[in-house]
Amino acid sequence: MSNSKRIRFTLNGRSEETEVQVRTTLADCLRHDLKKTGTHLGCEHGVCGACTVIVDGAAVRSCLLLAVQAEGANITTVEGLALSDEAMSPLQASFRKHHALQCGFCTPGMLTTAHALLSDEPDADRDRIREVISGNLCRCTGYVSIVEAIYDARHAYKRKDVA
Amino acid sequence: MKLPDFRYACPASLDEALQLLGDAGGSAKPLAGGQSLLPTLAFRLAAPGLLVDLRKIPGLDRIVVAKNGVQVGASVRWCEIERHEGLRTGHPLLHAAIRHVAHYQIRNRGTVGGSLAHADPAAELPGIAVTCEAQIELASPHGRRSVPAEKFFTGALSTLLNHDELIVAVRFPPWPALRRWGFEELSRRRGDFAIAGVAVFFDLDAAGRAANTHVGVIGAADRPFRLRAAEAQIDGTSVDAASIARAAAAAMDALDPQSDLHASGAYRRALVGTLLERTLAGALAGKGA
């Protein structure tokens, strides 16, 4: 029991180790300590969804999780979605194709949420997509394009072994 | 935003966690999914000296659907209830109501025990627990006790939980396969807390008359509660339009809801009446939610 703690987790496929104050949220740990500033912080109390990251396969709000709670977890942030520095993932490419971002502030949360959804439910229909991103606020209000981009990316998540 | 400073412990057993809570003498808070506690800390509405993380405690994550009822462990998450096939038939009212809880990301973290302990007056699970006469199972360093949900919630964000007690499970009475039920709530946006919500169930006898009617309301007082005056208007009837209208009138008579920025008290009262009419008619038609 102490006010700071050394933690380890896997971030975008790489092992990370850092010392954090126990009151540090996972979002602040990612941004301040590990310099992964792709994860955005909007409201910092679990309303806007901008800080969504994927922890052990589940989309979660990184402002509502202490870094110490993520000890041992497998974490994917928006930086972990692209196939390489040059190549966007099919989901990211679909966001570009459909003009699904304007100011871009909500985009990391939209992408991580949609990636978790389609990884679990590649057949999600538009209503399910709308239900799932209802926890992500886009203040440019570009929801129609975002829903279309996610819907159009579904083919990339379908099981390849099904003929 | 920085949370207030606190110490942190992650015990590996229930006994160890209870010991830590007991030793802290009220200055510690249990941390489960954190989906209510972390916003509270972010706003500095609470400043516990110690957080006791419950994530390594084994045995609290089970959903058991059996002949003697349905038991849901305290660390079960909303997404697990949502995906549980046995609950769809084993407790359809619980399954349907939980689909209204918050958003995708929060449903991946938020827990049954956390919701019961937080005791938001508009939260779904406390409302279903009260409606269904569930028992809330508590553990402390001094032993175990079981509290009826209706007694457990004592006001807004207030419960009978002692500082050295933890919720281990919530236990629902058995659910007959032919039971009629309904759940409806109204919120302005999907996933928001309900302005108000209504849960109902009843059993029909061979002659088509209702018995064992239960009506529960969320969001219309400082805690979830049963509307016994409305239940009495349904028991013994065929749940026809006239008895539904009498139940709605009795519900509105019994209510004096608060006004807030989301809705006036008068709107809430009318809303509960409307939701009650819909859930009763839907339940009779076998629609559920």
Residue A163 banded pLDDT, cuts 50, 70, 90: very low
Q: How far apart are CA B172 and CA B112, in angstroms?
A: 13
For an interface test with A, the pick among B19, B105, B106 (most A C-beta atoms closer than 10 Å) comes out as: B105
Task: Assess whether pLDDT exceeds 50 at residue B8.
Answer: yes
Task: Assess whether pLDDT exceeds 90 at residue A22.
Answer: yes
Residue A1 banded pLDDT, cuts 50, 70, 90: low
In sequence order, what are the residues at sequence separation of 6 or more whose Cβ sits closer than 8 angstroms to the Cβ of residue B170?
Answer: B71, B72, B74, B112, B116, B125, B129, B134, B135, B136, B137, B149
Contacts of A68 in chain B (CB under 8 A): 8, 10, 53
The chain-wide mean pLDDT, for chain A, equals 95
pLDDT for residue B287: 80
pLDDT tens profile B137-165: 999 999 999 999 999 999 999 999 999 99
pLDDT for residue B144: 98
The chain-wide mean pLDDT, for chain B, equals 97
pLDDT for residue B190: 85
Q: Which chain B residue is nearest to residue A58, measuring alpha carbons?
A: B108
pLDDT tens profile B51-107: 999 999 999 999 999 999 999 999 999 999 999 999 999 999 999 999 999 999 999
Question: Inter-chain contact B7–A2, Cβ cutoff 8 Å?
Answer: yes
pLDDT for residue B143: 97
pLDDT for residue A162: 47
pLDDT for residue A159: 73
Task: Assess whether pLDDT exceeds 80 at residue A104.
Answer: yes
| Mean pLDDT along residues B244-255 | 97
Name the minimum distance, in Å, from the CA of A53 to any CA of chain B: 9
Residue B120 banded pLDDT, cuts 50, 70, 90: very high
Question: Inter-chain contact B7–A60, Cβ cutoff 8 Å?
Answer: no
In sequence order, what are the residues at sequence separation of 6 or more whose Cβ sits closer than 8 angstroms to the Cβ of residue B5?
Answer: A3, A21, A23
| Mean pLDDT along residues A116-141 | 97
ipTM: 0.94
Q: Does residue B53 sit at the A interface (CB-CB below 8 Å)?
A: yes
CB-facing half-sphere around the CA of A136: CA atoms within 13 A: 31
Question: Inter-chain contact A58–B79, Cβ cutoff 8 Å?
Answer: yes
pLDDT for residue B10: 98
Residue B218 banded pLDDT, cuts 50, 70, 90: very high
pLDDT for residue A161: 53
Higher pLDDT, A2 or B33: B33
Beta strands in chain B (DSSP E): 7-9, 28-31, 50-53, 63-66, 69-73, 135-140, 143-148, 153-155, 158-159, 166-172, 180-186, 196-204, 210-218, 225-226
Closest Cβ opposite residue A68 in set B8, B103, B104:
B8
Contacts of B27 in chain A (CB under 8 A): none
pTM, to two decimals = 0.96
